A and B are shown apart, each in its own frame.
Chain A
C-alpha cells in the first residue's frame, strides 16, 4: 500500500489482481446485478486511487477497500432504485438476482436468500462479510468503523434473527 500511495502502478496492479474479483462478488451480493457490480468495482478502485491520501498508516487495505465498496453499493441503490425498492430504513436490500443463481438455486436457497434480505443492513453487512467474504470480526469492525464487540453483537443478533425469519418463512410456505 505504501508503494501504491507513492504512485507505483505495479503496486496498484497487485492490489487489483488480488481484490478485484472478491470485491466484484461482494458487490454482486449487495446489488443483485453482476453488471452493476462491474461498474461499482471501477468506482471502488477509482475511489481507492483518488482517496489514497486518506489511507491511514497502519490500517489494513482489505477492510478499507470493502468499506469503499459498501459505500459505493449503498449510493448506487439510493440513486438507481425507486424508493419503494429500498427497505423501510432506506437501506440496501441484499438481493442476488436470478441471473447469478447457480445449479444449487433450490427452494431452500431462495428461502434463505429471502431471509437474508429481510435482515436490517446493520446486521446483514457483518454477516455477508463474515460468512461469504471470510473476513474476521476485527477486519469487519475496521471496515464498518465500529468496535469489534459492536460487530460481534450485530452478527450474533443477525444469525439468530436469520433463524427466526427462516422459521416464519417456512411456516408461510407450508400454509
Chain B
C-alpha cells in the first residue's frame, strides 16, 4: 500500500469527518433534550427541568462550538482534497449542501446566541422558541447532509453530460429522496438521540457513584433510561431496514458486512471471522440459514450475492466493514440493555442507589459515539471503491495536490483535533460530572465566570450556586 495523495486524502477525510460527526450526533440529540426540558419547565413549572436545561446547555455550548469549527473544515475539504469529485458532482450535490447552509446553518448559529446569551433578554416563551429553532436547525442540517450522502450511496435522478463528463440533475425529487435516504435519515436521527441519552445516563450514573444524587440527577437518568429503552428497539428495526435497502442497491457492501463468501440462495449470519487460507480469504463462525428471515424481501429463487460475485477491484475492504458492523451492533445491544435495566431499576426504585448498573452505565456513555463512527465506517468504506456508488470511483475524485501537502494537512488536523478534543472532553466532563447543588438557595460561591459569558448573568440563585467550575 503506497501512501500517496489519494490514500492520505482518504485517511484525512475519514479522520476529519469521524471527528466531526461525533459533535452533530451529540448536539442533535442534546438540542432535542434541551427543548424537551425547557418545554416541560414551561408547561409544568417544575424547577427541576429548568435546572436540567441550564446545566446541559453549558455542555451544549461546548459541543456546538466544536461541531461548528470542525464542520467548516468539511465545506472546504471537498475542494481542497476532492476537487475532481467536486467538479463532476457539484451540480447535483452542491445544491443539497447549499440548502443546508440556507435552511439550517444560519438558523442554528444565529439562535444559538439567543439560547446562550438571551436568558435575561427575552421572555421565557421567546427563549423556548430560540431553543426550538436550534433543535430544528440541527435536524434540518441532518436532513440535507444525509440526503447528499445517501445520493452518493444510491445515486438517482441524474445524468452525465457527454461533453464534460460532469453529472447533472434530471429530477430533484429523485436526487433528494434517493432510495436509501429515508431509512438512513431515520437511522441517523435515532442514533443521535440514543448517543445523547447514553451520555446523559453516564453523567447521572457518575453522580450516583460519587454520592451526589439530586432531583435533577434522578430525572436525567429516568429520561435517559426511558429514551434508550424506547428508541433502541426502533433503532434496530431502522438499521435493519437500512440494511435491506443497501442489500438491494449495494450488494457488495452487504456481502462484506455479512462476510458472505460465495453467492448462494440461502446465507447465514457470521458472528466472527478470521483470515484463512481458502478461496475467499476468511473463515468464521456462522449461524446457518438466517437469510430467509433477515432478508425476507430478497427476490425468491435468486442467489444472495457473495463477494465472489464481484470483481476484486469492485469490492470494499472486507475486514474494516465486517468488524465495524459487528462493533456497531454490539454497542447498540449494550445500550439497549442499559435502557431496559435502567427502566427496571426506575420501576423498582433503585435507579439512584449505587450498584453494578451505574458502573456499567458510565463507560457505556461512549458507546453511542462508537456506534455512530463504526456505523459510518460501514456506510462509507462499504461504498468503496466508489465515491458515488457505481458512477464515480474514488481514484477519479481526488485533487491534483502533492503527497507532501496532504501529509502536512493530515498532521495539522491530527494535532489540532487532538488538542481541542482533549480540552473539550475535559471541560464537558467537568460540567457533566459535578452534578447539581440540591440546595435551591445555595450561595453563589467562588463565582469565577466572566461578565457576559454563557449564562454568566443567570438570575436564579439555585443555578448560580451550581454554576461554579468544580475542579480547581
Tell me, yes or no, whether A binds B. Answer: no
**Chain B contact residues, CB within 8 Å of chain A:** none
**Chain A contact residues, CB within 8 Å of chain B:** none
